[in-house]
Amino acid sequence: MPGYNIFSTGWLIFGVMTATFILLSFIRRQPIGVSLMIGAILGGLVSGSGIPVRHLVEGAFTYFDPMMIIFTAMFFMRVIQENGALQALADLIIRAFAPRPALLAMVVTIFIMFPAMLTGITTTSVLTTGALMAPILMTLGMPRVTTGAMVALISIMGMMAPPINLLAMLIGQGVDMPYIGFEGPLAFIAFPLAFFVAFTLGYPYLKRADLQTLPPQKTQGKHAVPWTLFIPLLVVFILMTAVRTLPGVVPDIGIPLIFVIGGITGLFFGEKVYPAKAAYRALLTGLPVLGLLAGIGMFLQVMTLTGVRGLLVVTVLSLPIALTYLGLLISLPVFGGVSAFASAMVFGIPFLLALLGRNEIVLCSGIALLAGLGDVMLPSAIEARFASQVAGVDNYLLVVRRCLPFVALFALVALVVIHFADGLSFLVPG
């Protein structure tokens, strides 16, 4: 575009795109993915590029790999939920560890984290394992608000934990950094913080719980002995471990195919599952996130086309280090209150580029944590809302308020990880 000074209007374009997104998402209550797409279209129009159809299509498929991971992981989770494996595992955990509250707190934590660890989406934990555990925890004496906060925070740590961290994956993809070597830093961040939540919020109630109040065991597998229900989980674990530890022996068949194999295996054990219905329900569950990723891709593609993305990077690069840290602490969690994924992509990438020179994998992990905290931040506080529902709390703001001290602490932990990224490089293999 001859004579068109993109840098003189870059902030205007970004303002129009962002304002459109926020207006449609939270005032007009449109789906976030659709709001991002319309914001991208208006950004193209304001920049003088017209409606950039080619860039919109390319952007929609930018994150096709994470989309496939989400859908297949949702399918796997749906199968093991419908065949009774999750309920059986919940019963087993409670019966085996109830007399030992410290161990119970740790095992419940990993159980709640598990779906988000596989899918990279907090909601899957809140609405599956979180929904299974919340009534049991409340039966053992935990207050509803505390239960909701515990489920929400631990689910966020599940999203942060390996093997699948979509936030880190998306940030890394934005700077052409492969998702390799993240297991150590992500585990170092996620599991201690998740256990901290469990022991701070849950353990005081678990250690004085009356075990006589436990509900009767729900699963006695009609079609298989109970242990066979866990074969699909074992298949997924073995395949994921083998492709990472035995690269010369076991070919890397890809995470989506591993989840498909695990889901198909689950069809042969436990309660009868109809694969077409399971796939359909998995798609319905994951559709909001799939649409969100397509919208983010379009939004970022147009930001690149119009020069706004470069403007953000240049602006962040020019900040003094103190203001860079302040910007990290404010922008990522606050914008994450709109969408953690959008926050990671729009702000996470510029801040990662601004701080290059440290260990990039550790750095990316810390930035992903800041973005992920947005899931319990207003205005959307999406996971606090869902956690309130599973805990039977009428006012979700009570759960948000209970989570805020932990959000502040975890944000400081993220800042420490970012600042000392080189010192933590021992967590990255090789």
Per-residue pLDDT of the chain (430 residues), as tens digits, is 333 344 457 888 888 888 888 888 777 677 878 888 999 999 999 888 889 999 999 989 887 888 888 888 889 989 988 998 888 888 888 878 888 889 999 999 999 998 899 888 898 889 888 988 998 888 888 999 999 999 999 999 999 999 889 999 989 988 889 998 999 999 999 999 999 999 999 999 988 876 666 666 555 444 444 688 889 989 988 988 888 777 778 888 888 899 999 999 999 988 999 999 999 998 888 888 788 888 888 988 898 888 888 888 788 878 888 889 998 999 899 888 877 888 888 889 889 988 888 999 999 999 999 999 999 998 778 889 889 988 999 999 999 999 999 999 999 999 999 999 999 999 998 6
pLDDT of 284:
87
| Beta-sheet strands, E only, within 208-267 | none
Cα 290 from chain centroid (whole Å) = 13
Can you say whether residue 381 is alpha, beta or left, with left for phi > 0 and alpha for psi between -120 and 50 degrees? left
Q: Are 123 and 386 in contact (CB under 8 A)?
A: yes
- The Cα 301–Cα 347 span in angstroms is 14
pLDDT of 11:
85
pLDDT of 2:
39
pLDDT of 136:
86
Q: Are 347 and 391 in contact (CB under 8 A)?
A: no
Between the alpha carbon of residue 41 and those of residues 6, 52, 276, 296, 304, the distances in Å are 17, 7, 35, 12, 13
Number of CB atoms found within 10 A of residue 338's CB:
23
pLDDT of 262:
93
pLDDT of 1:
39
- The Cα 138–Cα 218 span in angstroms is 17
Q: CB-based burial of residue 251 (10 Å sphere; 0-12 exposed, 13-18 middle, 19+ buried)?
A: exposed
How many residues does the structure list for the chain? Answer: 430
- The Cα 284–Cα 286 span in angstroms is 6
pLDDT of 6:
42
pLDDT of 218:
57
Can you say whether residue 257 is alpha, beta or left, with left for phi > 0 and alpha for psi between -120 and 50 degrees? alpha
pLDDT of 212:
66
